[in-house]
Amino acid sequence: MGYRFTDLTDACHDDWRAYLEHDFVRQLGAGTLDEGAFRHYLQQDYLFLIHFARAYALAAYKSRTLTDLRQAHEGLKAILDVELDLHVGYCREWGISEEMLAELPEARATMAYTRYVLDTGNRGDLLDLHVALAPCLVGYGEIANWLNAQAFTVRGETNPFEAWIAMYESEEFQSAMLAELEWLDARLAGIAPARFAELARVFRDATRLETDFWQMGLDRAI
Ligand SMILES: Cc1ncc(CN)c(N)n1
């Protein structure tokens, strides 16, 4: 029997749940998150997304088939057309101009995570890179779905973070997530146990770096 994406999450179950159910996520869902913490997160996320767009461009460069090239394009589109567009507008609403974004110092957690993914992609193959990218695309889609299933989540205008949840539950983002899951399931199906163990390490490391990113937001750390 071949491997699937869920084998990656099963292999680091506690780390995966710690990322999806982090206090930052819970407070965001409940609408109680400190606005300064959210603003700090949002600013760092702008820098993060620029590096992740570069990582999808690297995936395009490493693609040898049209299918792989299209998949890299899907990820790049999700960042450029869905997330970054909304992000810049959203930052403006939160009092953060594009000029301010251009001058931002990069937090250590942002640097660690983005450079880890780019380095994994540079030294590894296309599958290493997609696995390193998966906690980002798949994780945020799952977080939106998880939040929607929690009794404490407040939806609508009374939650200042409503637009954030709405972006990740949107049809566009969810379909990019499903396309990535399909791509990963097809690639993981044919690999040997030793290769799976390597990929599970990459996935766990990237998942932990996501958790550090939430914590950086809560702590407003630079
Ligand atoms: C840190 C982080 N991880 C994931 C995503 C979703 N692309 C994001 N915007 N920021």
45: Cβ below 6 Å to ligand 1?
Answer: yes
Residue range 163-178, pLDDT digits in tens: 999 999 999 999 999 9
**113 CA: nearest ligand 1 atom:** 1
56: Cβ below 6 Å to ligand 1?
Answer: no
Angle at which helices 13-20 and 193-219 cross, to 10°: 30
The pLDDT confidence band at residue 1, using thresholds 50, 70 and 90, is low
Residue range 32-61, pLDDT digits in tens: 999 999 999 999 999 999 999 999 999 999
Q: Residues near 156 by Cβ (< 8 Å), separated by ≥ 6?
A: 162
Q: What is the interface pTM, i.e. ipTM, of the complex? A: 0.98
Topology classification of domain 5-219:
Heme Oxygenase; Chain A (1.20.910)
Tell me which residue has its CA closest to atom 5 in ligand 1.
136
Q: How many residues does the chain have?
A: 222
83: Cβ below 6 Å to ligand 1?
Answer: yes
Q: What tokens appear for 163 in the block?
A: 């637009």
**49 CA: nearest ligand 1 atom:** 9
45/78: higher pLDDT: 45
Which residues are known to be catalytic? 136, 210
Q: From CA 178, how far away is CA 141, in angstroms rounded?
A: 9
For residue 31, report the phi and psi dihedrals to the nearest 5 degrees: 80, 15
Burial of 64 (0-12, 13-18, 19+ CB in 10 A): exposed
